[in-house]
Structure 1
Amino acid sequence: MEVQEYLRYRKDLLVLAQDDDSFISETSFIDAVLPSMLDAKLIDSEEWNDTGFLSETEKLKVNGYLINESEERLQLIILNESSIDIKVSNAELQISQKVYYETQFARTTRFLKKAMNGHLNESLQDSDPVNALVAHLSSSEGADQFDVVDIFLISATATVETRGSIPQPKGLEFENENLTVTYTKDRQRLSKEILIVRRLIDLNFLYDILISQGNREVLTVNFESIFDSPIKAIKAANEQNFESYLCVLPALHLAELYKLHSTRLLEKNVRSFLDFKNEANKGMFTTLRKDPAKFIAFNNGLTITSTLSDTFESGGLTLIRSLTDFQIVNGGQTTAAIYFARKSGIDISKVFVTAKINVVSEAAEDELNKFIKEISLYSNTQTKVTTVDLDSQNPQLVKLKAMTASVVTPSGKKWFFDRAKGEFNTMKRKSGNKTKIEKDYPDERRFSKEQLGKYYSSWGDQPYMVKKGGIKVFKYFITAICGDGDKKKGVIVDRNFYEELIAKMILFNKLEKVYGAGKNSIGQLRSAVVPYSISILYRFTDGSKSGSSFDLTKIWVKEGLEDDLTLYLEDMMKLVNELLKKYSDSDDVGENTRKKELWDKVSECREIAAFMATSNSLKIIKKYSISNEERKKRNARNSKLAEVDFKLLKDNIEIYTNGIGFYDNVLTGYGRSLTVAEMNKLGIIKSSISNLENIKEAHVDFERELIRRIRTEAPEVFDRMVNNEMVFWQQIFDFIVQIYNNAVSEGEDVGAAFNRVQEFAKSKAVKYPSVFGQIGELLKNGDTPTVKQVWYASHILALKEHTSLATQS
């Protein structure tokens, strides 16, 4: 059944990759997959460079590439094009032979070798998108820059074992390869080996990331395999579920680990390595170069966490063969400094670093995160550390999720925040009415944490940060809304914030569509042109000293852009597209857009000054601006009302919509996997549904985790579900939320709005009309109605007029 889940998920991915004409391009499918690779921390950013290179005669192919944050790692992408063909049968999508994938990998490996040997330069046109990459790879600068090349083969196929009657999932690993290159540096002829790492991104991998709710792929470091010997250590603590070891690591080991795994070693490190610009990093570099033997004395050392260790005792020491879920949580700058010092030619053979290894067994992801945060707070640090929650449990993200339940657009639509990856997909999987869910929440009204960071950060003066994407822009976003715990305060996540945030998303998405993709697009720099153009708009409105701001509320109210604004921004994007190419100091314009220097040149150039001084620019800015004073007054009016948090009620409504029959089927199909305590909790949920009682948050959380477990361990349970959803629960909930939002948007007393519904219900002889007055009073005071009150209110659904009543209230 698991293989069938993979194939079912493939259909979801294909739908996600469709354009407005239902066409699926290779580029759009890669766009759909990269966020999962980012979740797994295989890449630092989902912003990739599309090359679209294919040579049938020479059997060469590369769809695109990325360069990691520290720029020593090239990551090539190839898509198995036959795997996204909608005509391919399920049987053909089940791959059991490794050679099938080897053939695909070979196309990109051949491309890499030919490019580095200079055998492709003359066969390409200057306008070919792959030209900049080929030119760089064939140069001495490229050979010197890259130490590792990852080749990611994306294939919408299920990798299976076919020994039994039913195909079972299996994993495949592909051997690394070394490519010897020679190049010139500082007038010297040098030679080195570039490591080629091949990684399959199949449906098995993508589905596992989905059901793990976006948790990173666990990194296991096997010291015996890499260094031919275990690590010698002293056991410092041995408690239940916790062990601690002290050891001394050779710098050569750390450099090799960084080469193999790069920033994956530092996923949970609270700081990122910023070459040698700050004083601590400059000091490390100086010591490594001038006094390497004393580095161990001057440096604070590393703190490493793991969730499982493979050890044995010998001669009074503990020898560590391997560590599972290996993370350097303190000392990431030290590790990277050592790697780049060796890369620059410094001899690190005499350098050693102390390390403390903490093994926390049987720890859930959130428990491990908490432990690491405490390490960051209490450890001696060389520079100030700012700690923010980067996971989905961040309080500001929780508030934002609640806003999606309580705030609807002027036309009554809702947005879906996929706070923990896979929430939307799981909601669809368990539902008996997938079509309705997709209609209620189309792709353009759904967003993930990573998209959230990009959309929010685009409205500002740092488009190069948006272009970097990934964890970099998400950290910037989280720090912006949470504050830094010192001088910078966080933002208030309320209705004003939410409406402007959605407006920024609408703006960003609209400009992406206007720019286009493929042959009919403005160019090949969409991922840069869109944020650069938005930043120029910001720079001449909110970012100016005019005393006015761009009125994002106009976009929120219209739920789109006016025609004149769309045409104006299209002209701006055409100009920006040319300016990026003109002012880039690199042939690889896409990569250069990640640099602040390019933004400074473009934003301050005479062409932009002239464009913004035109009569049309002045007219557009005047039309869509609002004075800062008026904006403050409007926001203050919206903030007077105590914002209602509908989230727990919405969660209750979702459980009630499932109905008792749903949970009876859960017991039938999955009951043997439940403990007695879990059976009791499920019984309480069923009892609550029977008695119209509110379900407590703890039991809501249990139900959500239970559904996730079923999705992971026994998804076939959902296939046996009969569609008996009690849809009226969702309908009356939406009705109540709509009336509430209409009143808030119009500045009307919420109680009065619901009293009007009460009088209407009474005039139509609807049962229990007084409940609307009760609900209005609760919402007016910032409280939510009970489930029982919602049930009483549902009797109004019998009236056909209830829909128009909600929009007119």
Structure 2
Amino acid sequence: MDIKEFRKELIEDVRSTAAAYGEGSNTAFVNIIADNLVSAEVIPDFTNAFYLGQGIRNRKVRIDGYALDEFDNTLNLIVSDYNASEEGAILTRKDAEQIFQWPIRFIDEVYKNNLSQRIEISTSSADLIDLFVRNKGKINKYRVLLFTDRYISGRIESFEFGEYDDIPIEYQIWDIERLFKIFLAESGRESIEINFTSFLPNGIPCLEASNEGIIDYRCFLCIIPGKVLADIYDFHGAQLLEGNVRSFLSTKVAVNKKIRQTILTEPKMFFAFNNGVSATANSVTIENKPEGKFITHVRDFQIINGGQTTASLSNARFRDKADLSDITLQMKLTEVNEDIDETQGLLQKISRSSNSQNKVSDADFFSTHPFHIRMEQISRRLFAPAVKGAQHDTHWFYERARGQYLQAQMRMKKREKDRFLLQNPKKQLISKTDLAKAQNSWRCLPHIVSKGAQKNFKEFAEWVDKEWSSSSESFNERYFQESVALYIFFKHVEKLVPNQTWYEQGYRANIVTYSISLFAHLLKKQYNDYTLDLQIIWNKQEVPEVITNQMAKITKSVYESITDPSRGNANVTQWCKQEACWKRVTDLDIVIDNKIESILLHKRDVKSEVRQAVREQKVITGIEAQTEVVNKGVEYWSNLHTFIIDKKIATFLEMQALKIACKLPLKLPNSVQSQLLLSLVEKAKLDGWKE
């Protein structure tokens, strides 16, 4: 796929999405791009807030949505330039400068022209105004993101920071070329490149600390001025921080009081008092100079420990007008060889180890959790039933890492690609955040889902991590089928809501998650011994009419509840994030139509089917373990045996299994022994063994 094909597919995606959800093409375009930038960790979340009008002196005012990054109080303002114009349309600097002003004027109208009095209170743009008012004095930076289906002019290299009432404004253009690059990025996000010589003449002084002969990584100890670190953070924002760690830190105090106190009162002692930062990069350029070694350039730079330190430096300079010129701190920079197949896993291990002093669970590093791998494996081998006269079965493509679906097609010839798309239609692409939204809605956590993709996903990850530790076999083919059924249900309600006569183009996401949660709650309340037979949705690949009719009633009641003038918070978006909102919704007096009984299943029957699915998964897990043991080969197990004998870390049963593996292919460990062997490998790695 080249960039022209990408743009064509994007426009087709916009058209089909707009038609499916009964919304304008511009709204569909913004939602598609925003969803991908959330996945790529460019923005923490996204809320629609379309407003188009005139302000002071008849100036054009426009905004399409927003996202508040609570970690560093950056308010992202989204504005769109979409017209599905002919191929090759160019966005000039003049065009961009003009469009960038539209959301800035929105701010002006809020603070200086009483915009709140001219907007209906129960609209998403009114919620944005409320956010401005509540956070006045707290916002550290505005970031204006321009989404466009055009190409930017080659003359546009960058935009200088602006300012509004002493608050800096950063401008970013997300044109077709930049979007294409991020869709193809192996890491799932935009690569951050930093030229340190633009901050310091020689770059960053360093000492190489890694051992000779290591090809996986190089490690450097550096001294970095606090001002330089703050400058880099001001430009790249929270995107500079490794995503899982940022998610963890966002639940804590954003600015550490002790760090702030040192910055303000004892800046020269900062190096002695602070632990510094740890970072990774895929490429590090070193220059030898008479003064020593200097790092001049890094690519795919991520801070994996020291996020609070970094944000505190920036915040103190902005809030307290602190002078950072006397502050220096240590930085450990690890360059990971991107040509090594296990690069991503190594990065996660470094990140996990660097944060070992914090209570960061495996769920915080969920992208490498075995749950993901199993869901991916099941999705590739399990066919969904053919429906509507189709003569072929299809897969639901589970995207364990963002961009897998597109990357799978990159090197395919046309015939191969056509066959791939026939078996893996785009409408059956499901991401991990999609799964988390559908599952948490069904688990009656709509207030968590309403908090945004990252926070919702973190909660889901914690639940999965706990359940996996208890019984990993419960995540099996049946679980996958029912997860897809819930996703089909979720998307069905998303399309149902805009077609209702009462719908007024706002809060669809909140209405959908609350309605599904309420339906699940009512089923438990009114049919305690029964549960919805999700296998019916899986087998038909669609939602039965009896559910559709029930959801039409429920969604209306939910909408009226969350927008009721007596709600606990005038801001509907914020109200939906509170558990009190969910409590009020559960108090709604709704009786489910008894026709629903035709698609319910008694819980005793469910338990029987679940036990059978667990037994089948144990067999599959055992076969997979045996396959992996055989593939590693006798030499591998002999080397491990030598290591284990010296370290004496294996149990009797593990040693018995290892002795059998050392006799491959004459003897073969059974499934239980194979799983013991794979666990032994992980134990040996923790003790210093290298494969």
Q: Structure 2 length as normaliser, TM-score? A: 0.75
CA distance in 2, matches of 1:518, 1:202: 34
Partner of 2:158: 174
Corresponding residue number in structure 1 for 2:41: 41
1:302 pairs with 2:277: yes
| 1:416 is the counterpart of 2:400 | no
**Residue pair 1:71, 1:145 contacting (<8 A) in 2 also:** no
2:450 partner SS: helix
> What does 1:105-144 align with in structure 2 at a 5 Å threshold?
105-118=100-113, 120-121=115-116, 123-126=118-121, 129-134=124-129, 136-137=131-132, 139=133, 141-144=134-137
The residue correspondences of 1:538-687 to structure 2 (distance < 5 A) are 538-541=520-523, 546=528, 548-582=530-564, 585-593=568-576, 595=577, 598=578, 600-605=579-584, 608-611=586-589, 614=590, 616-617=591-592, 619=594, 625-641=600-616
Deviations 1:2-47 (A, max 9, x none): 55445444444445534149985211111222233234321122x4
SS in 1 for 2:563: helix
Tell me if the contact between 2:336 and 2:343 (Cα under 8 Å) persists in the aligned partners: no
Q: CA RMSD in A?
A: 4.4
Structure 1 unaligned blocks of 5 or more? 161-169, 182-192, 649-695, 699-780, 782-809
**Which of 493, 496, 509 in structure 2 is aligned with 1:527?**
509
Structure 1 equivalent of residue 79 of structure 2: 78
| 1:353-364 equivalent positions in 2, closer than 5 A | 354-360=329-335, 362-364=337-339
Contact 1:16 1:443 in 2 (8 A): no
Deviations 1:91-124 (A, max 9, x none): xx33274334333333334434444433645554
State the distance in 2 between where 1:433 and 1:380 align. 44
* Separation (CA, whole Å) in 2 of partners of 1:102 and 1:124: 26
- Is 1:220 paired with 2:187? no
Cα displacement string for residues 532-553 of structure 1 (whole angstroms, at most 9, x for unaligned residues): 2222334455699956544333
**Aligned in 2, Cα 1:350/1:79: closer, same or farther, shift over 3 Å?**
closer
Cα shift at 1:214 = 6.2
Q: CA deviation at 1:554?
A: 3.6
- Structure 1 residues 510 and 522: alpha-carbon distance in aligned structure 2, compared to 1, 3 A threshold: farther
The one-letter code sitting in structure 2 at the alignment partner of 1:175 is F
Which residue type is aligned with residue 441 of structure 2? Answer: S
Counterpart Cα distance in 2 of 1:226 and 1:585: 49
Conservation of the 8 A alpha-carbon contact between 1:53 and 1:130: no
Classify 1:268/1:75 alpha carbon distance in 2 versus 1 (closer, same or farther; 3 Å): closer
Verify: 1:59 aligned to 2:56, yes or no: no
Equivalent residue for 2:347, pick from 356, 359, 372:
372
* Equivalent residue in structure 2 for 1:498, among 480, 499, 517: 480
CA contact (8 A) 2:21 2:498 kept: no
> Residues of 1 paired with 2:242 and 2:575: CA distance?
25
Change (3 A) 1:356 1:574: same
Partner of 1:145: 138
Paired amino acid for 1:49: N
Secondary structure, in 3 states, of the residue corresponding to 2:275? coil
Residues 195-246 of structure 1 deviation map (CA, whole Å, 9 limit, x = unaligned): 2222111111122223335621111234453578844444434756644333
Partner of 2:86: 89
Deviation at 1:75, TM superposition (A): 1.4
Distance of aligned partners of 1:576 and 1:290 in 2 relative to their CA distance in 1, 3 Å threshold: farther
Q: Which amino acid aligns with 1:601?
A: A
Among residues 406, 430, 434, which one is paired with 1:451 in the alignment? 434
Query: Which amino acid in structure 1 is aligned with residue 242 of structure 2?
Result: E
SS for the counterpart of 2:398 is strand
Aligned to 2:17: 17
Map of 2:678 onto structure 1 = none
| C-alpha distance in structure 1 between counterparts of 2:538 and 2:526, whole Å | 22
Secondary structure (helix, strand or coil) at the match of 1:174 reads coil
Distance 2:359 2:122 in 1: 47
1:465 to 448, 454, 457: 448
1:145 maps to amino acid: K
**1:396-407 aligned within 5 A:** 396-407=371-382
**Does structure 1 retain, via aligned residues, the 8 Å contact 2:254–2:311?**
no
Alignment match of 1:201 (pick from 154, 158, 174): 174
Relative to 1, partners in 2 of residues 1:73 and 1:217: Cα closer, same or farther, differing over 3 Å? same
- Partner SS, residue 452 of structure 1: helix
Name the SS of the counterpart of 1:363 in structure 2: coil
Deviates more, 1:274-283 or 1:330-339: 274-283
Shift of 1:638: 4.0
Conserved 8 A contact 1:523-1:577: no
How far did residue 271 of structure 1 move?
5.8
The answer (yes or no) to whether the contact 1:481–1:490 under 8 Å persists in 2 is no
Determine the structure 1 residue equivalent to 2:668.
none
Structure 1 residue 574, shift from structure 2 partner: 1.9
1:26 equivalenced with 2:30 (yes/no):
no
The 2-side partners of 1:197 and 1:640 are apart by: 55
Residue identity in the other structure for 1:103:
Q
Cα gap change, 1:125 to 1:506, in 2 (>3 Å): closer
Go from structure 1 to structure 2 and tell me whether the alpha carbon gap of 1:640 and 1:2 turns closer, same or farther (over 3 Å shift).
Answer: closer
Please tell me whether the aligned partners of residues 38 and 44 of structure 1 are also in contact (alpha carbons under 8 angstroms): yes
Residues 173, 60 of structure 1: alpha-carbon distance in 2 compared, 3 angstrom cutoff: farther
Counterpart residue identity of residue 74, structure 1: L
Runs of 5+ consecutive residues of structure 2 not aligned to the other structure: 388-392, 624-629, 633-670, 672-691
Farther-moved stretch of structure 1 (433-442 vs 533-542) = 433-442
Quote the offset at 1:72 in angstroms: 1.0
Letter in structure 1 aligned against 2:162: N
Match of 1:673 in 2: none
Tell me the secondary structure at the aligned position of residue 43 of structure 1.
Answer: coil
**1:529 aligns to what SS in structure 2?**
helix
Q: 1 CA distance for matches of 2:22 and 2:416?
A: 22
Q: SS of the counterpart of 1:143?
A: coil
Deviation of the 1:436 alpha carbon: 7.3
Letter in 2 for 1:77: I
1:474 aligns with 2:469: no
Shift of 1:524: 0.7
User: Structure 2 CA distance, aligned partners of 1:7 and 1:380?
Assistant: 40
Aligned mates of 1:434, 1:236 — CA distance in 2: 46
Q: How far does the alpha carbon of each residue in 1:628-663 deviate from its partner, in whole angstroms, 9 at most, with x for none? A: 4331112223445469979x9xxxxxxxxxxxxxxx
Moved more, 635-644 or 377-386: 635-644
Identity %: 23
1:583-630 C-alpha deviation (Å, 9 max, x unpaired): 65554422443x3xx2x212222x63242xx4x238477665544433
SS at match of 2:304: strand
SS of alignment partner, residue 19 of structure 2 = coil
Cα distance in 2, alignment partners of residues 326 and 451 from structure 1: 28
In 2, the alpha carbon distance for the partners of 1:697 and 1:173 equals 50
Q: Whole-Å Cα distance in 2 between the matches of residues 433 and 368 of structure 1?
A: 29
Task: Identify if the C-alpha distance between structure 1 residues 421 and 135 changes in structure 2 by more than 3 Å, giving closer, same or farther.
Answer: closer
Compared CA separation, residues 532 and 171, structure 1 to 2 (3 A): farther
Q: Distance in 2 between matches of 1:466 and 1:171?
A: 42
Q: Letter of the aligned partner of 1:327 in structure 2?
A: Q
* Residue 641 of structure 2: aligned partner: none
Deviation, 1:179, is 1.8
Contact 2:122 2:563 in 1 (8 A): no
Distance in 2 (alpha carbons) for counterparts of 1:531 and 1:61: 28
Return closer, same or farther for 1:298/1:554 CA change in 2, 3 Å cut-off.
Answer: farther
Contact persistence 2:255–2:312 (CA under 8 A): no
Question: Which entry has the higher C-alpha Rg, 1 or 2?
Answer: 1
Q: Residues 372, 517 of structure 1: CA spacing in aligned structure 2 closer, same or farther, 3 A cutoff?
A: farther
Tell me the alpha carbon deviations over residues 337-356 of structure 1, each in whole angstroms, 9 at most, x when there is no partner. Answer: 55556666496859957433
